[in-house]
Structure 1
Amino acid sequence: MSSALSRSLLLHRLTPFFASRIRQNHRLLSSSSSALPEFPSPSPSPSVDAIQMTDNCVRRMKELQATDTSSEGKLLRLSIEAGGCSGFQYNFLLDDKTNSDDRIFERDGVKLVVDKISFDFVKGATVDYVEELIRSAFQVATNPSAVGGCSCKSSFMAK
């Protein structure tokens, strides 16, 4: 096996480990806010970095909140993880809490939450909900921080 190939395989195996450790350390650092000075959060003003939600995304979140009592008041959380066929992958889940480092985007009462580390990978992105023959899912429709990705739009290469 060539050394370039073995380095590539090693990097591919270690990237998820280091990414999870960075997130874990960041959350630990954020939770011990007594050691850090507090800065006022910026006022929510529309910017080019804001994450947009399509009509389909908002409609689906409202449907989920209306039909399932356990989903009432849930937030849509978008996070980025190392892995996927293009380097990084999008991860969506329903959450009921926010962390101190989260950025919150709201449209028509629906909230999208992105942690600080993941936000750097999705600034200016648009989140959509798509229904296809083989799946229905939330997905990032456009991402100005990506230079490429897989055809199913579940992973991407960062700039």
Structure 2
Amino acid sequence: MINLTDSAVNAAKSAISASAFPAGGLRIAVEAGGCAEFKYTMGLVARAEPDDTLIERDGLKVFVDNKSYRHLIGTTIDFVVALEGSGFTFDNPNAKSSCSCGRSFS
């Protein structure tokens, strides 16, 4: 299971409501690359793909492809506002290590 904090849900809902195109939800994926072996990617999408796992929380739809889902099981996604910058953070128990930017892991 992937967990989203209230802050992450609210930030995603705000992005969807401000989107210039019809967004049906938030896509979260893991791709090769970044400072470490894998990197997190996020973006608004119109709809789910056939191989997606759907996560719903407080009216927010989150789509995760099945390949990425394996890397994200148990992950908590938060949205943090800080002096250094605001953004989504990932607390991933499957990561052996992560880079200082927090956007990639191995």
Is TM > 0.5 for Structure 1 vs Structure 2? Answer: yes
Q: Which has the larger radius of gyration?
A: 1
TM-score normalised by L of structure 2:
0.88
Give the Cα separation in 2 of the matches to 1:129 and 1:71. Answer: 23
Letter in 2 for 1:127: I
The aligned residue for residue 135 of structure 1 is 85
Over aligned residues, Cα RMSD in angstroms? Answer: 1.6
Is the Cα contact below 8 Å between 2:55 and 2:61 reproduced in 1? yes
Q: Do residues 85 (structure 1) and 41 (structure 2) align?
A: no
Matched, 1:111 2:61: yes
Find the aligned partners of 1:99 and 1:145 in 2 and give their Cα distance. Answer: 24
Other structure's SS at 1:114 match: strand
Report which stretch shifted further, 68-77 or 53-62: 68-77
- SS at structure 1 position matched to 2:97: strand
Answering whether residue 51 of structure 2 is matched by residue 51 of structure 1, we say no
Q: Relative contact order: is structure 1 or structure 2 higher (C-alpha 8 Å, sep ≥ 6)? A: 2
Q: 1:69 to 1:77 in 2, by over 3 A?
A: closer
Structure with higher helix content: 1
1-structure distance, mates of 2:22, 2:5: 20
Give the counterpart letter for 2:16 in structure 1. Answer: Q
The percentage of aligned residue pairs carrying the same residue is: 38
Cα distance in structure 2, aligned partners of 1:78 and 1:114: 5
- Give yes or no for contact 1:64–1:71 (8 Å, CA) kept in 2: no
Q: Relative to total residues, which structure has the larger strand share, 1 or 2?
A: 2
Q: Which runs of 5+ in 2 are unaligned?
A: none
Task: Please list every run of 5 or more consecutive structure 1 residues that lacks an aligned counterpart in the other structure.
Answer: 1-49
| Secondary structure, aligned partner of 2:96 | strand
